[in-house]
């Protein structure tokens, strides 16, 4: 059985911290699922760490469906949350519901995530009313990076801090089951966590949140274009993979790979017949 939204909510009530990571492919998702991590986000961050874009903005609905399907196929226990990409929910509540439904019905996700506060509560409510769990996302919202003017901490002024608190309360009232707080001052994130009844999942928002989410490529050290301040590299796969590939190339060039161990034999009489043939 997969983790349910009720189990995630209960973790907050029991003061149990919630771990969440991103995944974008089958094999990585399988490994994550075996660890027992309860939440996997198929984030539109795939635009940067998988597809090589400068931001999440170019990511399409088809991209999200493709990668979400792969992650779903690699898991049996974790709840899979699919990101609604840029311009798939901003235009109308009807668009929001239609595309949320596609992530659930076509890709097999169990919940969707979208960015924004009070401006998207009508979309959140419509999606939730249709029976689709919604995870909110406020603070630094990457799809609005052009308007925000860069990847900056959000909520540092009295006005913006108040707005984030209002956004959090509004999203809870609209029916969101959890809320991502991205790049928000630690004290503000802790206050929001105390004020609302749904779990907060922080990324660059300090230890006061109910849980944490990280991009898998950041914590594994396989994405080296930049390392966000909020990320901790638990290993450095870039160095490990590069070393392995160098060893592979050297063995191919030297002729030491493949060996008999990595090769297949055949009946020598068949080979002899082929050699004698006129073909």
Taking every pair of Cα atoms in the chain, the longest distance, rounded to a whole number of angstroms, is: 88
107 lies in the same domain as 227: yes
What was the pLDDT predicted at 226? 84
Q: Could you tell me the residue range of the domain that residue 267 belongs to?
A: 240-276
Kindly give the parts of the chain with pLDDT less than 50. none
What was the pLDDT predicted at 151? 80
What was the pLDDT predicted at 149? 80
Helix (H) or strand (E) holding 76: none
Strand partners, 182: 139, 203
Q: Any long-range contacts for 147-155 (C-beta under 8 Å, 24+ apart)?
A: 151/183, 152/183, 153/183, 153/184, 153/185, 153/204, 154/182, 154/183, 154/184, 155/184, 155/185, 155/188
226 lies in the same domain as 245: no
214 lies in the same domain as 265: no
CB 155 within 8 A of CB 183: no
101 lies in the same domain as 209: yes
- The size of the chain, in residues, is 279
53 lies in the same domain as 147: yes
CATH code for position 203: 3.20.20.60
112 lies in the same domain as 246: no
250 lies in the same domain as 150: no
Q: How many domains does the chain contain in total?
A: 2
206 lies in the same domain as 92: yes
C-alpha separations of 49 from 42, 86, 230, 232, 271 in Å: 12, 17, 16, 16, 48
137 lies in the same domain as 20: yes
Q: Any long-range contacts for 220-229 (C-beta under 8 Å, 24+ apart)?
A: 223/48, 223/49, 225/48, 228/204, 229/204
162 lies in the same domain as 119: yes
81 lies in the same domain as 195: yes
Residue indicated by tokens 């399409």? 60
What was the pLDDT predicted at 279? 66
Q: Which of 10, 182, 251, 260 is catalytic?
A: 182
61 lies in the same domain as 91: yes
C-alpha separations of 90 from 94, 97, 160 in Å: 10, 11, 21
What was the pLDDT predicted at 105? 98
CB 45 within 8 A of CB 22: yes
268 part of the active site: no
pLDDT in tens, 73-123: 999 999 999 999 999 999 999 999 999 999 999 999 999 999 999 999 999
């Amino acid at each position: 059985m997969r983790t349910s939204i009720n189990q995630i909510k209960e973790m907050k009530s029991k003061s149990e911290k919630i771990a969440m990571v991103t995944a974008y492919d089958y094999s990585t998702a399988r490994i994550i699922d075996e660890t027992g991590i309860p939440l996997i986000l198929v984030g539109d961050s795939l635009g940067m760490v998988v597809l090589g874009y400068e931001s999440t903005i170019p990511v399409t609905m088809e991209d999200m469906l493709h990668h979400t399907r792969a992650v779903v196929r690699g898991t049996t226990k974790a709840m899979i949350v699919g990101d609604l990409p840029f311009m798939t929910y901003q235009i109308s509540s009807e668009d929001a519901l239609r595309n949320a439904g596609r992530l659930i019905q076509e890709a097999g996700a169990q919940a969707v995530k979208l960015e924004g506060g009070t401006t998207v509560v009508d979309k959140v409510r419509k999606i939730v009313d249709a029976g689709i769990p919604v995870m909110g996302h406020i603070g630094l919202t990457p799809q609005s990076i052009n308007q925000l003017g860069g990847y900056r901490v959000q909520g540092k002024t009295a006005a913006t801090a108040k707005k984030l608190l209002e956004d959090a309360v509004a999203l809870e009232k609209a029916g969101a089951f959890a809320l991502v707080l991205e790049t928000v001052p630690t004290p503000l994130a802790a206050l929001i966590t105390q004020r609302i009844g749904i779990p907060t999942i922080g990324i660059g928002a300090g230890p006061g949140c109910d849980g944490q989410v990280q991009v898998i490529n950041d914590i594994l050290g396989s994405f080296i274009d930049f390392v966000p301040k909020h990320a901790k590299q638990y290993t450095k796969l870039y160095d490990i993979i590069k070393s392995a590939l160098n060893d592979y190339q050297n063995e191919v060039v030297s002729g030491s790979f493949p060996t008999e161990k990595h090769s297949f034999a055949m009946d020598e009489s068949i080979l002899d017949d082929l050699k004698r043939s006129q073909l």
